[in-house]
A = this chain, B = another copy of it.
Amino acid sequence: MGEFDLIERYFKAPARDMAQRNSAVAQGIGDDCALLQPAAGMQLAISSDMLVEGRHFFADVDPLTLGHKALAVNLSDLAACGAKPLAFTLALALPQADEAWLAPFSRGLLALAAEHNCALIGGDTTQGPLNICITVFGEVPKNQALLRNAAKVGDDIYVSGTLGDARLALEVMRGKLALSTEAFTAAKTRLETPTPRVALGMALRGIASSAIDVSDGLQGDLGHVLQQSAVGAVIDAAVVTQLLAINLIATQAIKTTINSQFTSQKQLQYALSGGDDYELAFTASVSKRQAVQAAALASNTPVTRIGQIEAEPGLRLIDAQGQTVPNIFASFDHFQ
């Protein structure tokens, strides 16, 4: 099958089907531009991410999970704003048009898109070193988007789901750590098929005072909130360490295997600055504790309170006894 036929079969044909089922799409794939019609009173939330082989994923990654992840990281940005996904564009540079890659990539991508009724409305395909650039569009009522700049002194700090597992999987794949198959599989699932917290983000409209998606590590990303809100924070190191999925789900036997080489210091490091978590970190006033619980329940998303916003700039860690823990962990930097 030729390149045009492959693109038609695996992207354009399903894209036309999805656009027809999405009332916000006035014109889908197949013209110079797509046309979107957000509902009245809505703002359009837009985010764009570029994934490059060797930097964001390994050359031998399963294309099915890569398709999922390429969209998931963008949906996670919509989630962090409380926006409802509408549509996305896909620009793809490929070394060659290879059906054995395109078929599963498209399946992983479009399955997640269908789950969120997020229609593929356009894009580009070209030959070149593998590069995936997705731009995603969502809608959010005017003045209700969750932003980074409105955390207030005294607000609680929360994070959804689990942290550090993606980095743990990465270190095993790099040969730096060994894990049981069971523990590695759990961590690898988090690395390869992150769950964008879209329902939670929407449920937090009017409740959270600020939000961000944790993509480069909690410490670095929460740092953006602190900086833009001109506040500081204290977070509980023991609580954060417990957010590694393997600590939540593993049997005692697995935990023992892990802990022999994976010190609690390293666990804290991965949870704080591992990267690739795609969870939401957010703040909310103490008066909203019940509302946050209700939002977590309604969106079926675990949420953990990890600390508090303070006036003093900077991010401080404390242990279970309230003592300061030295913080020596930097955020993951894609350009290093």
Contacts and interface: CB of A to CB of B under 8 A. Distances in A.
A313 interface: no
B122 A47 contact: yes
B133 A212 contact: no
Interface stretch (A25-33, A165-173, A243-251): A25-33
Interface-centre pick from A47, A92, A138 (highest chain B CB count, 10 A)? A47
A254 interface: no
A218 interface: no
A137 B46 contact: yes
A137 B123 CA distance: 13
Interface in A1-44: 3-4, 26-27, 30-38, 40, 43-44
Given A55-B126, A127-B335, A129-B128, A36 B27 contact: no
B33 A145 contact: yes
Interface string A191-223: 000000000000000000001110000000000
Interface stretch (A75-83, A153-161, A304-312): A75-83
B48 A124 contact: yes
Interface residues of A, number: 64
A226 interface: no
A81 B33 contact: yes
Contacts of A121: 46
Given A38-B44, A52-B126, A135 B33 contact: no
Contact of A128 (B27, B52, B77, B78): B52
A334 interface: yes
A55 B128 contact: yes
A26 to B, nearest CB: 5
A91 interface: yes
Given A27-B145, A131-B128, A335-B126, A45 B35 contact: yes
